[in-house]
Amino acid sequence: MAEKVRINASGVKVEPLNTKIEHETKGTSYMGLGDYGMIYVGNNGFEFYDDRNPKNYIQLPWREVDVIIASIMFGGKWIPRFAVRTKKNGTYTFAAHDPKALLRACREHIPADHIIKSLSFFQVLRAAIKNFPNIIKNLPNTIKNIGKKKK
C-alpha cells in the first residue's frame, strides 16, 4: 500500500514514487552523515525517507538505476551496506535492517546480473599493487602537471 502525500519542511508536497510498496524496512542513508529513516521498494522505484528531516528523501526510479553493489562479508552471511549506482546522478550508499530481503525485492525490478558484489579489501589491495608500476611510470608527468590549469 502506497503512502499518502508527504509534506516536507518547506511546505512542498512530496509525491511518493511508488503506487504499490513491495518491501519496506528501516535503513540508513550515507549521504554525508548517516540519516535514519525508512526504505521502500515498490513498483516504480527505490525510495528513502528520513525520519527527522522531511527535506531529506531520495527517490530513484527503476529506469535510472544502473547497478546495485552489495558489500558481502563472511560468505554472504552479513551485508553491512549496499550502494545504488544510477545512470546519471552517481552512487547512493545505504544500510538496511534486513538487506537480504531488500535486495531480493530489488531483484524483481533489476536484472540479477546488475546486482553485484563489491570488491573485498584484499582485491582492492591486489589491484593497487598490480597498478603500482603504471603509477610510477606516470609520476613525472603527474608532477609536471601539478601547477597547470586544466582546459
Nearest to 105 by CA among 1, 3, 19, 24: 24
pLDDT of residue 134: 84
Q: What's the pLDDT score for residue 63? A: 92
Task: Give the cell for residue 94.
Answer: 545505504
Residues with pLDDT less than 50, the chain:
1-3, 8-9
Domains annotated on the chain, with CATH: 6-136 (2.30.29.30)
Q: Is the distance from CB of 43 to CB of 19 less than 8 angstroms?
A: yes
In sequence order, the 6+-apart residues with CB closer than 8 A to the CB of 97 are: 25, 26, 27
Tell me the pTM.
Answer: 0.72
Give the residue from 80, 14, 79, 68 showing the smallest Cα distance to 41: 68
Q: Which amino acid is at 62?
A: W
- Which pairs count as long-range contacts for 83-86, CB under 8 Å and 24+ apart, including other chains? 83/118, 84/46, 84/60, 86/60
Residues paired with 86 in a beta bridge: 65
Per-residue pLDDT, 112: 85
- CB of 6 closer than 8 Å to CB of 49: yes
